[in-house]
Amino acid sequence: QAHLKHRLQVEDQKRRRSTKQSRSGGSVTGDSTALSSGSLSKTQQHRLEDERLAASRIQQFGFPKDEPTLTGPAKKRGKLMWAERYLVLGTGRLLVFRSVKAQLRRGPPLNALLLTNVRVVPSGSDAITLNCRQRKYEFQFNSKALRDKWLSALIHAADTS
């Protein structure tokens, strides 16, 4: 997260310099929202935009400050099929990542569920349903024992948030 902040600060400094030069009649042109095309390639600009989005998601939803209560793989029900996901349960929130690699890279989560006003319900022998205000999320686990572990942890996290 500190690395992203540093990159954003450097980008802002470059943007300010290019804006000053364009106002004073310098050779660098560009608007106040984009970097000059000579300083970064399109790929680098897209990557920086992705990092900015990730930083805003991290700032908006945050990562658990303390150690996660529970982490592990699960299948999440989609519109057409079940997809492998990686879950991180922290204090008052459940973060859903595409994979363990995405979580380790501290990339933005696919879903960040605040566990306030969430009903946690077992469904079937190895699945859990989270009923949120706007949507229902269903996660399937490899065993009933693993489902029960996640169920108790989610109920406890929802009660304490």
Q: Each residue of 59-107: pLDDT tens digit?
A: 555 554 556 789 899 999 999 999 999 999 987 889 999 988 777 777 7
> What are the residues whose beta carbons fall under 8 Å from the beta carbon of 12, sequence distance 6 or more?
none
Q: Which residue has the higher pLDDT, 134 or 23?
A: 134
What is the number of other CB atoms lying within 10 angstroms of the CB of residue 132? Answer: 15
Q: Over 50: is that where the pLDDT of 35 sits? A: no
CB within 8 Å of 115: residues ≥ 6 apart: 92, 93, 94, 154, 157, 158, 161
Q: Which of 110 and 53 is assigned the larger pLDDT?
A: 110
| Nearest-angstrom CA–CA distance, 123 and 106 | 30
On whether the CB atoms of residues 82 and 141 are closer than 8 A, the answer is: no
The pLDDT of 119-129, averaged and rounded, is 93
Q: Distance between CA 160 and CA 116 in Å, rounded?
A: 9
Residue 50: count of CB within 10 angstroms of its CB: 12
Average pLDDT, the chain: 77
pLDDT attached to residue 65: 53
The pTM for the full model equals 0.60
Six-digit token pair at 23? 């106002």
Compare 112 and 57 and report the one with higher pLDDT. Answer: 112
Does 56 score more than 70 pLDDT? Answer: no
